[in-house]
Structure 1
């Protein structure tokens, strides 16, 4: 291509390097000046490192200075975004959890040019390092780890995947972001001097090369206090692994162009992700459905049931129903959603603690599932099984009839279940007892004598308890439950599974 035909599609970014200390106001003023400089350079986005708000002098200060995501520190940066028209990546807010203020999250937050939060990622991997006589940094003593993946987001510089510092060493997270469409990966960091000298550049270039993404790494540098120093060398690496911008070891900024057309060109030229042997290996992620998770964060209240008892329910607001073959499962009946599957309470349980899990995609047989769906289905089944066996929560379902067979369920306020055995099974096809043409896993909490002398009597009950067709083939002792009963049970499980 001749020079006259070439047109850059690149957008300029600013990458900031700080030496944050315990003075939050002073740190902000430095960041404010950097935003002004980035604006003068016509940047679209600016990246700040981990601990941009402060670095405490001890564990107690690291905890006590933490603020909430909607607190004063973030409001000042939202104001900067509005004034400058820049998107801002804030690499590691000490983010106080109102429910558990004793340990904050380490949160990477991206805000847009209007000051609105576009993504919030809580650091998954906490850096605990203790070398006697040399260095001791135990992040788990003043931060708590995140619990879910966050999808890449669209920004003015391309689709951005979020990580923080020590996450850099776990390549699966970067590969997952690439699978989810990332073109740029961000690693705001505060690497120690020893680990930075040995691995910083090598790790950043490796992540860029293996994912064919730009890598943006804003970093802390220098001496923060008597106990802590950081390596610095903030940098931008292109998808070929070339370092295109870098700071040295002082408070500074570097600038780089991000060209997503180059990302597309490189991936077309060397389509390594098309060459991966997914028939032999794969990347499985136990991914929580982020949209659902926004609403199942507990908003629990009590409601009087038709039995006159108080049952905990979830305010589901905008949760969507799901299809179970031709049936619609109300969101109030669903207590867990992963990326590919969902778990829900049973209309006609044969026992207390009989729930179902199925893929979101309607498939008749287990063999119709992709490998990713299969893995997710059984990872969720294990999680649900652990919950049914071990969890204690805010109420218990108990049987009101014959202890040797299926019967209606009512409620009392004690514990969910306390058992050490379960049945986990799939009825695949009509001859196996499948009545709903959507593959699903039965998970049942088992107790001694729950089906008389033989635990295997369960399978006869599974084959007949919800049989459609003639009344002769249907178990007359099992009645469909009301939505109110199922909602109450799902709310108990929804609360309990958060601790698994």
Structure 2
């Protein structure tokens, strides 16, 4: 029997009812009905799929546009062999079934933790987000693995025995509700992870879980409400509940928490879903009324953002047209863009910003690359001016051979400017045109400059 409850989100009386989002991507107030689900998975995949199908149907009847299913919604094995043996790749029949359900009901599905077949007999714990046309929009592989042994409480689980950890924090995904940041279960204990997703633009954080009964009773609601308050986002946490086998039970209490930290919907005991209408305006109204983001002292502690991991600083390179850029010369990387030190500088502090994808002309960039490129240019300009004690910059692209482009890859020049650095101000363009005559810097100098700039980006708020 599927049970459900429905509660509508009511604005906190101390907050403004309507606030214009400062982020220009949101020009209207978003409202969206969502369903957070709870179930008791076992090792019968067909039975678990039927339960998920029933939950999705129930959410559809209540007009939900997004359904959040818990971690291990596909199965919970009785032993290590079950975990690996039942796993499928993401193009397997189980995922196809979920994609068909999304299309059939025109609903977004958050599959909170699928056992994705990985190498060496292990799995990835993969949070898959599917849109209402059945397309996989994002896959996040759990990065924090639950390796805990608490003998006095009877809690002992070593997830790393059978799960390969993920290596990436996935960009928040644009949905009918806003931008959703993907996490899984144990990730909720790491506020750095939450802040990173919020700094990447998340309006909603998700922590689909299979919390143990002992840890859930002590910390579940506390952690979820804390993550909501400190990031000022909605937090949605689907959950496993009850006894899965003789060795394992889950706490349940799937819930939705608003940006003020109020639990606005929660599942009762057993299998079911809780449905709520969320108003994205509450995210911006909370951030306006309690502007903690503006008060953070990122001059004293780092702004949390996803880090990139060069494998080998001496050998690994980015392609840069007919040339290459070494990883250790790059001081900032985003999803689509890199910023790096320059071999021939027209002025001190002259750096380059380019898309990661090797594209010759600006007109060949897609909209995501263009947006990311210029946001990165803005960030870099602020730091470069501060480092070089400058109050102006020349920012330019040489787009095509007739414009002076010699590297067959789109790149933006950022040159911090000082009074009198050229006899005539526009002579800077002559220097760029004749850059082959400029002094060639050593690789050691470029690497040291990149290292110093990289540290600044870790400690400054932009």
Give the TM-score normalised by the residue count of structure 1: 0.61
Larger relative contact order (C-alpha < 8 A, sep ≥ 6)?
Answer: 2
CA distance in 1, matches of 2:386, 2:260: 32
- Deviation track 1:478-499 (CA, whole Å, cap 9, x = no partner) reads xxxxxxxxxxxxxxxxxxxxxx
- Partner-residue secondary structure (3-state), 1:220: strand
CA distance in 2, matches of 1:121, 1:139: 17
Q: What is aligned with 2:422?
A: none
State the shift of 1:223 in Å.
0.1
Q: What is aligned with 2:33?
A: 12
Aligned match of 1:36 in 53, 57, 69?
Answer: 57
State the shift of 1:93 in Å.
0.5
State the shift of 1:38 in Å.
1.2
Instruction: Report the CA distance shift for 1:286/1:187 in structure 2 as closer, same or farther (over 3 A).
Output: closer
- Deviation track 1:434-482 (CA, whole Å, cap 9, x = no partner) reads 6389983169xxxxxxxxxxxxxxxxxxxxxxxxxxxxxxxxxxxxxxx
Instruction: Report the CA distance shift for 1:435/1:251 in structure 2 as closer, same or farther (over 3 A).
Output: same
Aligned match of 2:199 in 179, 195, 218?
Answer: 179
- Deviation track 1:190-236 (CA, whole Å, cap 9, x = no partner) reads 00000000000000000000000000000000000001000000000
Counting only pairs closer than 5 Å after superposition, residues 68-467 of structure 1 correspond to structure 2 as: 68-97=89-118, 100-132=119-151, 134-285=154-305, 287-288=307-308, 322=320, 328=321, 330=323, 339-340=333-334, 368=384, 435=441, 440-441=446-447
State the shift of 1:40 in Å.
1.2
4+ residue runs over 4 A deviation = 5-9, 319-322, 328-331, 333-338, 340-344, 357-367, 436-439
State the shift of 1:282 in Å.
1.4
State the shift of 1:154 in Å.
0.3
Q: Are the equivalent residues in 2 in contact too, given 1:358–1:441 (CA < 8 A)?
A: no
State the shift of 1:126 in Å.
0.3
- Partner-residue secondary structure (3-state), 2:333: coil
Q: Are the equivalent residues in 2 in contact too, given 1:17–1:218 (CA < 8 A)?
A: yes
CA distance in 2, matches of 1:370, 1:160: 34
Instruction: Report the CA distance shift for 1:141/1:437 in structure 2 as closer, same or farther (over 3 A).
Output: closer
Q: Are the equivalent residues in 2 in contact too, given 1:236–1:246 (CA < 8 A)?
A: yes
State the shift of 1:131 in Å.
2.5
- Deviation track 1:345-398 (CA, whole Å, cap 9, x = no partner) reads x99xxxxxxxxx987668999972889xxxxxxxxxxxxxxxxxxxxxxxxxxx
Q: Which 5+ residue runs of structure 2 have no aligned equivalent?
A: 1-10, 19-27, 344-350, 355-375, 388-438, 450-462
- Partner-residue secondary structure (3-state), 1:188: coil
CA distance in 1, matches of 2:86, 2:196: 33
Instruction: Report the CA distance shift for 1:334/1:38 in structure 2 as closer, same or farther (over 3 A).
Output: farther
Q: What is aligned with 2:75?
A: 54
Aligned pairs, number: 338
Instruction: Report the CA distance shift for 1:286/1:38 in structure 2 as closer, same or farther (over 3 A).
Output: closer
State the shift of 1:149 in Å.
1.2
State the shift of 1:283 in Å.
3.0
Q: Are the equivalent residues in 1 in contact too, given 2:102–2:132 (CA < 8 A)?
A: yes
CA distance in 2, matches of 1:364, 1:10: 35
CA distance in 2, matches of 1:278, 1:369: 18
Larger gyration radius, structure 1 or structure 2: 1
CA distance in 1, matches of 2:138, 2:385: 31
Instruction: Report the CA distance shift for 1:89/1:73 in structure 2 as closer, same or farther (over 3 A).
Output: same
State the shift of 1:266 in Å.
1.3
CA distance in 1, matches of 2:267, 2:380: 56
